[in-house]
Amino acid sequence: MKLPQPSMSTSKSSSLLVLFQPSPIQSRHICSACLSSPHRRQTSRRTVSTIAKILESEKPKSDPNELKPLSRPIGVPTPPKPGENSGVDTRSWRERRDDFFNYDKHLGRREKLIKQAAKPYFRDWSRTKYHKGKTFSAPSRIFRADKSLYLPNMVGSTLAAPRMSSSTTSVLRDRISIVSVYSGRWAEMQTKTFVDEKSHPALAEMMAQDEKQGGPLQKVEVNIEGDWVKALIIRTFMGGIRKQRRDEDWKRYFVVRKGVTDEMKETIGMGNARVGYVYLVDWLCRIRWAGSANAAEGEKEALAAGMRRLLEAWGRDREEARVAAQVQRSRPKDGLKR
């Protein structure tokens, strides 16, 4: 008795099933969770929800013409240290291997990539049409010392040592500094409306008197250029930049290429990378005042008033430190007399 021959359609369907069925050798190298449809649906839902949240955050929550004041301290909660945020990977090969096979860290990197992909390319430029890119109005008073946060360390080359890496924390410690942070010529001109001698002669006079007395006031410039081509152009024309500044100011001009992440910019209030920012930093690297874009009415006066208050506080702090040191030196002598 002859068995019935399979039809052409049946043979085709069976061959297709065999063709698309994963072999045991191939499936052995694939994660079992990835082969299950619920896992794939969960991953896709997570990705879609992340993109939806990012796009929702990009929408203006209020009127773009409304300029809000800076009502809270900005910065990082931990004191900065020289050498931090250099952008150099100091992990060992074993640590890199462990991180490569860490699924949780892969998810974190995926979220960062999704956030970068969802960010519009011309977002910063489009935001400059409102208030010339001003993201916040400067406060009328400086932040309290016990509530202030710290300016993160940045590593880059200076005009004095273009082939060496220098940290901003080493320059800011034990000084009262006006730090100008910008990226590009337009942003640099915006910061000059706060600190330039022509735009703010009262501030220039105050700093000149303090320099004669050997005081702590200084100006620091940080030029952030993540693009290596622009950084190369700046390095090529460093001679012209040196001619525009005094010799003693060369060590206070930084060109930073790496280490400044988007998270760091958000912590110090840099909501627009095309805009210049000015920070008043005390001798402990704490941000006590901040301004953005062009100086508005009353902001230059607020900067000068904040600097006077910091000078008074710096004098009191040094006097207390001197008295404490004298008391500490006198204690062993009293003990010997007894």
Tell me the pLDDT tens digit for each residue of 67-112.
788 989 999 999 999 988 887 777 788 888 888 888 888 788 887 7
Whether the per-residue pLDDT at 41 is higher than 50: the answer is: no
Whether the per-residue pLDDT at 39 is higher than 50: the answer is: no
Q: What is the percent of the chain where pLDDT is above 70?
A: 74
**Most confident segment among 7-11, 47-51, 293-297:** 293-297
Q: Would you state the pLDDT for residue 104? A: 84
Q: Would you state the pLDDT for residue 152? A: 95
Lowest mean pLDDT, pick from 112-121, 184-193, 226-235: 112-121
Residue in this structure with the two tokens 């085709």, named with its chain if needed: 12
Whether the per-residue pLDDT at 122 is higher than 50: the answer is: yes
The CA R_g of the chain, rounded to the nearest whole Å, is 29
Cα 253 to Cα 218: distance, rounded to the nearest angstrom = 11
Lowest mean pLDDT, pick from 189-203, 222-236, 324-338: 324-338
Residues 23/45/112/263 CA torsion (nearest 10 deg): -160
Q: Would you state the pLDDT for residue 59? A: 54
Tell me the pLDDT tens digit for each residue of 155-211.
999 999 888 999 999 999 999 999 999 988 889 999 999 999 999 999 999 999 999
Count of CA atoms in the C-beta half-sphere (13 A) of 127: 22
Q: Would you state the pLDDT for residue 12? A: 43
Residues 111/113/119/120 CA torsion (nearest 10 deg): -150
Residue scoring higher pLDDT (223 or 54): 223
Q: Would you state the pLDDT for residue 139? A: 92
Whether the per-residue pLDDT at 286 is higher than 50: the answer is: yes
